[in-house]
A and B are shown apart, each in its own frame.
Chain A
Amino acid sequence: MRVLVAIPAFNEAETITSVVSAVVGAGYDCVVIDDGSVDATGARARAAGATVLPLSVNLGVGGGLRCAFRYAVYHGYSRVVQCDADGQHPVDQIERLVAAAERGPHALVIGSRFAEGGSSFPVRGLRRWAMLTLASRVTRAAGKPFTDTSSGFRCISEPLLGQFARDYPRHYLADTFEALLIAARAGYPIDEVAVDMKARQGGVASASSLKSTGYLARALLSGMMGLHHDIDSYATVTAANAARSSS
C-alpha cells in the first residue's frame, strides 16, 4: 500500500526543512499543505523535496488535511500519515502507525502520547478532565479504550481515506477528536498505538491555552449535538466494495 505523509503547516519556515528532509529521507512521499503562510514555509518545503499544496486562504488543519486526502486519493495512495510541521512527531514512529494499520487492518490509527509505552506528557486540572471526557466518549463509540483523542499524529487508510476526502470536519481543531468520533460512530475499525513524541522544535503553537480550552468545550458540545458528516458507514463501503469485486 502506498503511503503519503501529509504535513499541514502554517508559518513553520523554521522547522519545515528538517521535518520534510527526514520524511523524504525515510523513503516516504511527502505533501505539505501550506495553509496560507506568510513566511517561506512553502518554498522551503518544496526545496526539501515535498509536494506543496498552497492554500491561498488559511483553512485550519482540518481544511488542509481534506485537501491532502483529495490529493492522496487522486494520486492513488491508500494510506495517509498526518504529521505536525513542528518536529514533534519523529519520522521513525511513522512505521509504528503504518504497522498497526496493516495489522488490523485499521482504517484509523492514533499515535498516543498517553498509552503505555508512549511519551510521558504531564497534563493537569481542567485540561486533564476534558481530555479524559473526550477519551471516554470515543471509547464508548468505538467499544475499546482510547487515551489520546487529540493527537495529531495518525494514520488514515482506505476505505476511510476516500470518505474523509469527501467530507472532513474542517472547523477549528476539529480534525482530532471529531474525526475520530465520526469514524468510530460510522463503524470504521480504529486503534491507537503508543508513540514517542518530542517537544516542539521551533515556531509558535497555533493553539494557545485559552483556545485549547475553548476547543475542548466546543468538542464536548459538538459531540452532544451529534455530528453531521456525509460519510458512508464502514458496513456500506465494504458491502459496496465486495459487490464491485464480485461483479
Chain B
Amino acid sequence: MSQAILNALKTRLYATSSLTTTFGSRIYLDQAPANAQLPLLVYRATEDRTTPMFGMIMHQIDFDFEMFFDNTGSQTIHTGAANLASALSTPLTVSGFDRASFVRTAAGVPSRSDDAWSMTERYRATAFDT
C-alpha cells in the first residue's frame, strides 16, 4: 500500500490536539510496545484494494483503530472514538493522490478486560492516484 497515505494519516492523527491530549504520543502503527502506558491508540491497515482504470488507480484501504483505556481513567473510551471521528472528518492531503477521504464503516463496541477497556473503530479510506 501507499507509504504516502500512511504518512499523511500519521501526520493527521498527531496534528489533532484532541487525540494527542488524550493519547499523548502513544499512537502506534500496527503494534504498541510492551508495557506501554494507557490510554493508547493502535492503527493498522487491514486491506488495500486497488482498482485500475485507464489513466489512474483507485485505492480503497480499510483501517482498524484499536484504542485501549485504563479502567481507572477518567476519560471514557467513547471520547477517544469521537475524537478520532473528528480527526478523520475532513480529507487528508496526500502527495501523489487527489486526497484520502475516510468514512467509518463500523463503530466499535467497548470490551472490558481485567486491566483495560478496548474498542476497535473501522474506517475506509479512498484515494485516487494522480
Q: Do A and B form a real pair?
A: no
Contact residues of B with A, CB < 8 Å?
none
Interface residues of A (CB under 8 A from B): none
